Structure 1
Amino acid sequence: MTAAPHGRTGRFAVPPADTARQTTPGHWSPAGEMPFAGFWAQPADAAVLLTDGRVLLAGGEDGRRVPTDVTTLFDPAAGTWSASGALWTGRRLHSTTRLADGRVLVTGGIGEPPGPVPATALGSCEVYDPGSGTWTATGPLREPRFSHSATLLPDGRVLVAGGGAIRSADTHRTLRSAEAYDPGTGTWTPVRPMTDARFGHPAVRFDDGRILMVGGILAVGRGSHTALAHCELYDPVADRWTPTAGLATARKSHQATLLPGNEVLVTGGDMQGFKDEDWTYDPYSQWTTERYDPASDRWTADGQMPWGRSHHRAVRLASGDVLVLGGTDDASMAVGYPNATLYDAVGRTWSAEIPMVRGRWAPAAIGLDDGRVLVMGGLDESGPAAPLPGEDQVTATAEIYAP
């Protein structure tokens, strides 16, 4: 099931015929079931590829938004799942980063289920040792946060930027602050704050070590949020943030992918607001894409996806193409899309949709060493579409895309 994009005129828009290219798509096949049925709504992937080729997935949330402490491993060679040592603290909306020495850092998040008051962000952090299969507490964040970005720097530190935190008894606030983790000492040090507060934002590291923050979310009231078009670059050598050209369309729940040649592709997301050019209200997920050239500091419109989608995943393949998979439409967030589409980074065109085994939004996804893509979990049916009142249907299934 898919949802059609909504145009500015209020009618459903059909992409031009030339947006589809003639290609031989890959195929999806089942990859078993994880020990835990969950989803991961943070913008960065919750899964990491270990140095031995296995995939680690830790934390997440179930259909009632309850955080989990489960850690699971997938062995692509054997095609099997196994449990590993549990996190000390169950958490959702956290970040997961593989360190230069092969260990894995989990940072912040939320450690409680939804309640009548805003959730409190976690400051605790943990490090996973693949050799022993255990987690060890490490130095806490200077400022607790959730739905932040976490990026490995060229010098081995981890940059954590932005995120959400509690503001008052009934509201959240959005953070500008940033800090860096030193794996050698297990401590965090302050980093110059970002130009703009944001959470739920993708972060892309260029080949030269600079990091681009793309759009995201700004809390504006009690349970109210707005999408951002602002972007900025962080230079870790100078410890300096520089505002860059903004997106043509403000976006949240989108993806940003580094392309060959050091450009960035932004796909989908939603804005839920009025468009500046004609003041039409747009509650639907975007099918438009944009491409950033750091040399010229410009965003340009790119080929349209076959359909709009938010809460999807985008994974760059070994060929340089980008696989965009799953997602949902933010106007209803009722079902996960059971399809994917391929972006040709050279021709700037999109393939026809490629059927998946199961529909899913907010899954985890990661490229494997052999060039395949593993996607795990996600929401299948939610809200009014869910079979149980007050509980979204979450899947434990996984599947693999073979190009």
Structure 2
Amino acid sequence: MAELRDVACDGTPVLDGVRYLRLRVTGEGMEPIEHYAAVDGGITMLQPLSIPFGRGRMLEVRGYTDLPRSGGRVVSLGRSRPFDVPVQLGASSRIAVPFLRVGEYVRPGFSADSCVSLASPRAAHTATLLEDGRVLLAGGFQTGSGGANTTVASAEIFDPVTGTVEPLPSLETRRAFHTATRLPGGKVLLAGGEVASVEGSLPVRSAQVLDVAQATSTGVELKVARSQHAAAVDSSGRVLLVGGVGVGSAVVSEAEGFDSATGQVFSVSTPVSRVGMAAMPVQDGRRIAVVGGSDGTSLRPEVLFFAHEGGSFVPVGEGARLREPRRDGALVPFGGPEQLLYLGGHDSPRNVDEARFLASSELVSSGVPPQVSAGPQVFARSGLCAVALPDGRVMTLGGVRYSSGVLASDSHVELLVPGEEGAAPGLLGLMPLEQPRQQHTCTVLDNGAVLIAGGLNDTGSQRKTLGDLVLYTPVPLD
């Protein structure tokens, strides 16, 4: 039995205008099966078709204004978490499906009196999708009434199925501008970052491996203190950490790795002296790409690829260069496992207040040889948040730009659609965020929604750390 859960406390009622629900089951080794059901009042329980045994089953429920063959459109959407069926799934089994309106920003919660927000307002934090579908939100900073930042050590879990937030024990070290990398087995490596002090921002040398499921934490000492760096994990659970800001605000050149199987940190002999770059696995995790950034003096156009060989990460596949060097852009998969999209950012090697914001993007291919080509135009801004949706589209949200001559948080949201059969990608502007924000997080959930958490709303004259949680479900392509 499918249990529809309306997890939004505001916005249009999830079944408003819905006449039919489509239930569709997909999974490994099975042909998709689907069934339409007429909506009867405030229905929340649905009898799905029998689901054959097997792995990776998923139940999707769509709310239509009419049958699709009669021109009905999708106005509500929900997906279950992937589940395994050891035997034929019977009517007594219950599958929870968080159900939301598409194309609307809503807050989680089950009524207008029970909207859910972060336990601690935070910006420059991390958000990590865990194996069980929940989201770990950790660290960050808060801006006080006097404008000074305070680094936080709090962490919390958002559960998209129940629409609730649960606080976790505090981190061992306060940190903001750190990285969070999900490891095989569901653990999370929180690495580096910085802490605000009377002496200014001090980089952090420690890391922490969190096992939320087992409620354990293990401390790790990095080789170098670093903040505002980049990290990515390969298919074997080895994490590459590169660049960032170190002691004395110097750009860190020493790279290092972390092996999740042994819990050990290891040296990487190839220096990567960059800040404002991004890193991401490609080729199903066999390689890690490092794109963009500045060495503090000049922008670096070289696209670097690393693979783990002989006990460390080594450079491979050299030769690709950005057509328009930049820093503080967003890097996301786009159009396949070998291609990334690097978009936005700015053209100053140092301060953003000296910069020209870029409205371009570049496609980075990790093939042999690696290549860089022009991507679609985007709205010019830096520090934007971008996520790759399961259907291949990319959603961009917020960032920083000039507004009335001053640097301010941005509210623009875009949807980029890969081109089919060699056609150019498309760009669709979406409804802007209700609150402009930068240094926020955006996370794609198992149910297809994007979770937008916290951030900084800086108008140029006032700065406010946000503590809200916002959900947005894009309209499906098909």
Please tell me the TM-score bracket, short chain as reference. 0.7 to 0.9
- The alignment status of 1:162 with 2:237, answered yes or no, reads no
CA distance in 2, matches of 1:69, 1:210: 32
Q: Secondary structure at the match of 2:265?
A: strand
- The alignment status of 1:241 with 2:315, answered yes or no, reads yes
CA distance in 1, matches of 2:406, 2:261: 42
CA distance in 2, matches of 1:219, 1:267: 20
- The residue type paired with residue 87 of structure 1 is L
CA distance in 2, matches of 1:53, 1:273: 38
Displacement of 1:282: 7.8
Equivalent residue number for residue 131 of structure 1:
213
Displacement of 1:193: 1.9
1:312 alignment partner, one of 360, 379, 384:
384
Equivalent residue number for residue 377 of structure 1:
454
Equivalent residue number for residue 213 of structure 1:
290
2:346 alignment partner, one of 267, 270, 274:
270
Equivalent residue number for residue 106 of structure 2:
29
Conservation of the 8 A alpha-carbon contact between 1:29 and 1:357: no
Report which stretch shifted further, 349-358 or 320-329.
349-358
Q: Secondary structure at the match of 2:221?
A: coil
CA distance in 2, matches of 1:66, 1:193: 35
Query: Could you say which structure has the greater relative contact order, defined with CA pairs below 8 angstroms and 6 or more residues apart?
Result: 1
The equivalences for 1:170-181 within 5 A come to: 171-181=248-258
The equivalences for 1:273-292 within 5 A come to: 283-292=355-364
CA distance change for structure 1 residues 254 and 103 in 2, over 3 Å: closer, same or farther? same
1:396 alignment partner, one of 440, 458, 467:
467
Equivalent residue number for residue 47 of structure 1:
127
CA distance in 1, matches of 2:412, 2:228: 26
Equivalent residue number for residue 416 of structure 2:
343
**Structure 1 unaligned spans of 5+:** 1-23, 221-225, 275-280, 387-391
Report which stretch shifted further, 316-325 or 145-154.
145-154
1:203 alignment partner, one of 275, 279, 294:
279
Displacement of 1:263: 1.0
Displacement of 1:358: 2.1
User: CA RMSD, aligned part only?
Assistant: 2.5
Structure 1 residue ranges (4+ consecutive) displaced by more than 6 angstroms after TM superposition: none
Displacement of 1:126: 1.2
Equivalent residue number for residue 120 of structure 1:
202
CA distance in 2, matches of 1:62, 1:227: 30
Q: Secondary structure at the match of 2:236?
A: coil
Bigger-Rg structure (1/2): 2
Q: Secondary structure at the match of 1:131?
A: coil
Conservation of the 8 A alpha-carbon contact between 2:223 and 2:256: yes
CA distance in 2, matches of 1:273, 1:163: 13
Displacement of 1:137: 3.7
**Corresponding pairs, count:** 351
CA distance in 1, matches of 2:173, 2:220: 14
**Structure 2 unaligned spans of 5+:** 1-74, 76-101, 109-115
CA distance change for structure 1 residues 142 and 324 in 2, over 3 Å: closer, same or farther? same
CA distance in 1, matches of 2:134, 2:303: 33
- The residue type paired with residue 84 of structure 1 is L
Conservation of the 8 A alpha-carbon contact between 2:327 and 2:348: no
Displacement of 1:309: 1.2
Q: Give the share of equivalent positions with the same residue, in percent.
A: 27
Conservation of the 8 A alpha-carbon contact between 1:203 and 1:212: yes
Displacement of 1:91: 0.5
Q: Deviations over 1:47-106 (max 9, x none)?
A: 111111110011011123321101011010111112111101111111111110111111
Equivalent residue number for residue 262 of structure 2:
185
1:73 alignment partner, one of 133, 136, 157:
157
- The residue type paired with residue 258 of structure 1 is P
CA distance in 1, matches of 2:384, 2:226: 23
Higher strand share: 2
TM-score by length of 2: 0.68
Equivalent residue number for residue 251 of structure 1:
326
